[in-house]
Chains A and B, each alone.
Chain A
Amino acid sequence: MAILDELRRRFGDAIVETDEHRGDLTAVVARDALLAVLAHCRHEAALAFDVLMDLTAVDYQKFPGREDGPRFEVVYHLYSIARNHRLRLKVRVDEDDAHVPTAMTLWPIANWLEREVWDMFGVRFDGHPDLRRLLLYEEFVGHPLRKDYPINRRQPLIGPAS
């Protein structure tokens, strides 16, 4: 596809992998180049991805065949209103090095979406000014969408200190 070719041509080795599956375009980006690629997608007139539709992560710890690879994939779903096309960008990070640069300067919605990813997966976003939990509460222990978080784990009771 034209978009993936263009990204590969421009960023070379920083585009680790590209894939077209069921009509969805996917590019895996190296973390060092992530901000440059995102900014390019946002500002380049031929791409014009002005909407960050979704930002989430996937924990590949228990995915058959990927147990030893980088644990997390942070997934960006981009959409362009003017061009009416979509792109999925992914960046892989290890568990002990789980941080990616924030995309808040490009899309303000990244603020809350990144907070949610931090909340659910414990992936940090460098440069995020206010990386609080979004859906859970501050006293919550752990990050529940990680695959090693059992669904029936109890959390310590909290309440006003007596």
Chain B
Amino acid sequence: MAQTTRREFMLGEGSGTGGGPQNLHVGVGPAHPAMHGIIRIVTELDGETLVKADVEIGYLHRAFEKDCEQGGWNNAIPFTDRLNYVSPLINNFGYASAVEKLLDIDVTERCKYIRVIMSEISRICDHLTCVGASAMELGAFTVFLYMIKAREFLWELVEDVTGARLTISYGRVGGVKADLPEGFADKTLHAFKQTREVLDEVHRLLTGNRIFMDRMVGVGALSREETVGYAITGPLLRAVGVPYDVRRAQPYYVYDRLEFEIPTQKDGDNYSRYLVRMAEMEQSMRIAEQALAAIPSGPINVDFEGRPIDPAAYVDRGKQGKTEGLLLIPITLSPNLQGQQRAAYGRVNVEDKRVVLPPKETAYGSIEGLMNHFMLIMEGYGIRPPAGEAYFPVEGANGELGFYVVSDGSDRPYRVRCRPPCLPPLAALHRMIVGEMVADMIPTFGSVNMIGGELDR
């Protein structure tokens, strides 16, 4: 077997022996700058035309699904970060939602809005990276720098909320790690304003650009039938005119309450994909803005007339003995991580002691909290969904991201399967590039937005 692999790198068999015109075999990647590091395309060229291509993947395989079976249900969250590392928040939430479906619990309203906002911010980051990188591969380095600049504005928001830029591990089964920080809405709106300026600039640089259009229009096209047959979803499917979007078709969280459009194009070529992605970024910002305006503050301390009451004032009144009619609210200890104070934590996590870790104040401040903490952390304990299985799809940046989880009733997942949105377009990549020029392979491969972490798992 190893023998054939090496021979593919050699020039066409029998070349130079006078056997007439022969096709040239070229191995592209895995260490090729435009292969984004980790896939290999074994091509057969007739002059400059691709006559055959075999796509080899798996160079970034790191046993995601096997690893998930080794620890508790929440232990898989950091692994999901590394699936689509450009928009890790969506993976977090997708996995957490699949386990929540298995547990049959419903997260709090505020948490749903937070998940929507963070998912949309991630989606913009992903599209920015994809469009920027493919423009760079066509020589438009300026666009790449502009796009990465815009992504930086958004990643700063992500950093504010999660404490990390890439490996965010923000989702939790039953909620999220912490509430949004103070002033988040204003920062987001400001970042969106800057992002819109960048997108506007990019539109002017690329959308009607002669060089860009020559390389993108009509290149890498895939018919509607093939796109559907290859189970391609997301921007590539919408670029052939099928308005399928999980957010609209089977709304989850609060997407059914928010207004947005599903941009589509007809031609299914690289240029259509570019236009779809550019339009989707605007829609994502629209969704996030609506969600920010509508986000409820969630269950908080209220007095007996239903008015919100500040914890400090609550304590003062207690000291004066004016406790009649008031709920017993423990005092808030010193903040640990911002957004993880007990009050904030309760807003974004379900009240289910079998699933959600207690806030640190409770874990350190009361024996019940400590026991609750250990019951979820100790070996052999933890979240125990009932035996069964569930599939939960969310709209990832590249299409339908589904998690299929199987539980045997124990504290560890019996099986976690990730349906990677990147795999179907890669399975169909040879259909997009065969018959075209070898140089067109690069923009087509860029428009697919291959993310190795999710493709190879």
Contact = CB atoms under 8 A, between A and B. Distances in A.
A119 to B, nearest CB: 8
Contacts of B419: 53-54, 77
A56 B417 contact: yes
Name the residue among B242, B389, B390, B419 with the largest chain A CB count within 10 angstroms: B389
Interface of A: 21-24, 26, 50-54, 56, 58-59, 63-64, 75, 77, 81, 84, 86, 88, 107-109, 111-113, 120, 133-139, 144-145, 149, 151, 158, 160-161
B244 A81 contact: yes
Q: Is the interface of B mostly helix, strand, loop or mixed?
A: mixed
Contact of B427 (A54, A111, A160): A111
A11 B63 CA distance: 38
A75 B405 CA distance: 12
Interface residues of B, number: 48
A136 B404 contact: no
A115 B81 CA distance: 25
Nearest to A135: B58
A144 B389 contact: no
Kindly list the 3 A-B residue pairs having the minimum CB-CB distance in the complex, ordered from nearest: A135-B58, A112-B427, A109-B231
A119 B404 CA distance: 19
Interface string B101-116: 1101000000000000
Nearest to A26: B389
Contacts of B424: 109, 112
Name the residue among A22, A59, A111, A161 with the largest chain B CB count within 10 angstroms: A22
Interface of B: 1-2, 6, 57-58, 61, 63, 65-67, 70, 101-102, 104, 226, 228-231, 233, 242, 244, 249-250, 387-391, 393, 400, 402, 404, 406, 408-410, 414-415, 417, 419, 423-424, 426-428, 456-457
Given A134-B58, A135-B457, A22 B101 contact: yes
A47 B209 CA distance: 44
A118 to B, nearest CB: 13
Given A53-B419, A107-B231, A160-B2, A151 B244 contact: no
Contacts of B104: 22
B406 A81 contact: no
B409 A108 contact: no
Contact of B388 (A21, A51, A81, A133): A21
B228 A24 contact: no
Contacts of A51: 228, 231, 233
Given A139-B2, A144-B63, A21 B58 contact: no
A158 B1 CA distance: 12
A109 B390 contact: no
Contact of A109 (B250, B410, B427): B427
B410 to A, nearest CB: 8
Given A24-B391, A54-B417, A63 B408 contact: yes
B230 A145 contact: no
A160 B456 CA distance: 24
A142 to B, nearest CB: 12
Contact of A64 (B228, B388, B391, B409): B409
11 contacts: A53-B402, A54-B391, A64-B387, A75-B417, A81-B242, A81-B244, A84-B250, A108-B428, A111-B427, A133-B58, A135-B58
B201 to A, nearest CB: 36
Name the residue among A54, A59, A81, A158 with the largest chain B CB count within 10 angstroms: A54
A88 B419 CA distance: 14
A162 B404 CA distance: 44
B456 A135 contact: yes
Given A107-B231, A108-B229, A151-B70, A22 B102 contact: yes
Contacts of A53: 231, 393, 400, 402, 419
A146 to B, nearest CB: 10
A36 B393 CA distance: 27
A109 B399 CA distance: 15
Contacts of B63: 144, 151
A158 B57 contact: no
A139 B1 CA distance: 8
Contacts of A58: 406, 414-415
A157 to B, nearest CB: 12
A64 B417 CA distance: 20
A84 B246 CA distance: 10
A120 B456 CA distance: 12
